[in-house]
Structure 1
Amino acid sequence: MNSNINNRAWRKSRVSNGNQACVEVAPLDDTTGVRDTEARRRGHIEITPTSWSTLLETLKG
């Protein structure tokens, strides 16, 4: 996992609601980081570029 993860440019969707019920994403060295906005201290997962593209295309449906 990448060091200094909290110093990365984490962002959440513009359409997220005010109660922080969303996920955040950040570009990492060779992956995309994904974490729960409400539980940042629990860590994150890292997704490869191919898997990230597949996930986004699936969600767009």
Structure 2
Amino acid sequence: MTKNLTSIERAFELARSGKCRSFSEIKAALKAEGYDTATITGGTLSKQLRQLIAANTKS
């Protein structure tokens, strides 16, 4: 874990980083870093994260 971020904050950070190419990769990265992924659910949140992923990854 870095900088005392919440799971949701770290999920957004990962989505913006371009390191994760899918919602499931974000959840896997969070688990690997020791974050609880129980709050990383819901249509609106997953849509926001997917949009960030698309905007920050290269094809």
Q: TM-score range by the shorter chain?
A: 0.3 to 0.5
Kindly indicate which of the two structures has a greater share of residues assigned to strand: 1
Kindly indicate which of the two structures has a greater share of residues assigned to helix: 2
Which structure has the higher relative contact order (CA within 8 Å, separation 6+)? 2
Give TM-score, length-normalised by structure 1.
0.32
